[in-house]
Structure 1
Amino acid sequence: MSYEIGRIANTHGIRGELKIKTDSDFDRFVKGKVVYIDYKNERIELLIKSVRETNDYLIVKFDGLDDINLVEKYKGLSIFTDEAPTLHEDEYHYQDLIGLLVYNQHNQKVGVVNDIIEVPQGHLLQIKTETKMTLVPFVGAFVKDISDVIIIEEIEGLL
């Protein structure tokens, strides 16, 4: 299974380094690890040679890509790994939640998870109901159970 772990935002300097915006809460960009991109319907594996952090990005150097002309074409592409991180209890991959049916505490279907949105206060489940999109805070007060479906505590005004 593929896991998207970041996006190439831009080049950095002339020696082939790339500015990467990471999408992962896990430490996925480590020297010696192999990640990949999809470029023109071809999977290109990249060995991480070095990584350093800036305020908003990681500056990553890949083995064999030592010139800006070799990496410029990759700007805007997503970076993936096949390596699944170890999840602790009550941790989930976004892609595992998207598409799950959502029911309320009375076993009435509410809708389906359309997206997970990060906000400074945490995460929100974007749920597509029959008539609209609605947001539910992804916290224990509202999300009561996650298995093959998600059970939420529906309070007045939530949906």
Structure 2
Amino acid sequence: MDYVVARIGRPHGIRGEVTVELRTDDPARRLAPGSTLRTDPAGAGPLTVTSLRDHQGTLLVGFAGHEDRSGAESLRNVLLLVGADEAEDEAEEDAWYPHQLAGLSAVDTAGRSLGTVRDLLTGSAQDLLVVRPGGGGDDVLVPFVRALVPEVDVAGGRVVLDPPGGLFPDPDPDGQPAAGEDA
């Protein structure tokens, strides 16, 4: 499985540089000159980074073989990828990938079932857990912050949530704890 490091945006100037929409916490390492990244679509790459610089708060990247504006334009919307082994080798202690969270049981702090985690959406401001309520209905988006998600136990197969009132429908009207939890 590959992970997206960035999406290539519009060209900048006439020297082949492009803007990038980052999906990594470590762009200086991932996009360091000399780095080679796989691409989606695969036919656009692999791409080797030749330059990386900040221009008024926008990260600009240059790639070998794309040294002019038209070459840069041909890269627009290409995704830059790394393999799962490369991505997980440096995972932070409190960082998870969507595939690690999908399928985990979501329970509240009292152990009552709230549903099942379906996905992790990465946003510009914060990440969101997508939880399918146990009783059905629309997915619930939970900001992935410690105050609302105090515990992630991948090995134990659960995520503990402390949601504000009204975020979830009443999951279990008789107040029984989730399966495998003590009362």
Same fold (TM over 0.5): yes
CA distance in 2, matches of 1:110, 1:155: 16
Q: Percentage identity across aligned positions?
A: 26
Q: 1:58 to 1:5 in 2, by over 3 A?
A: same
Structure 2 Cα separation of the partners of residues 17 and 154 of structure 1:
44
TM-score calculated relative to the size of structure 2: 0.72
Q: Deviations over 1:90-133 (max 9, x none)?
A: 22234533x2333214252513333324364x433222332012
What is the CA–CA distance in structure 2 between the aligned matches of 1:2 and 1:90, rounded to whole Å? 20
Paired residue secondary structure (2:72): helix
Is contact 1:102-1:113 (8 Å) kept?
A: no
Q: Which amino acid aligns with 1:157?
A: G
Aligned equivalent of 2:32? 30
Report how far residue 145 of structure 1 moved.
Answer: 2.6
CA RMSD between the two structures:
2.4
1:86 equivalent to 2:87? Answer: no
1:93-108 aligned within 5 A: 93-97=97-101, 99-105=102-108, 106-108=111-113
Please identify which structure carries the higher helix content: 2
> Aligned AA for 1:149?
R
Matched, 1:139 2:142: no
How far residue 60 of structure 1 moved from its aligned partner, in angstroms, is 0.7
Q: Could you tell me which residue of structure 2 aligns to residue 59 of structure 1?
A: 60
What's 1:153 paired with? 162
> How far apart, CA to CA, are the structure 1 residues paired with 2:56 and 2:118?
32
Q: How far apart are residue 26 of structure 1 and its match?
A: 1.8
By how many angstroms is 1:62 displaced?
1.0
Report if the CA contact (8 A) 1:100-1:150 is conserved: no
**In 1, distance between residues paired with 2:57 and 2:100?**
26
C-alpha displacement of 1:56: 4.8
Cα gap change, 1:53/1:108 in structure 2, threshold over 3 Å: closer, same or farther?
Answer: same
Tell me which stretches of 4 or more aligned residues in structure 1 moved more than 4 Å: none
Computing the radius of gyration from Cα coordinates, the structure with the larger value is 2
| Secondary structure of the structure 2 residue equivalent to 1:96 | helix
More strand per residue: 1
Partner Cα distance (1:76, 1:109) in 2: 37
Q: Which runs of 5+ in 2 are unaligned?
A: 169-183
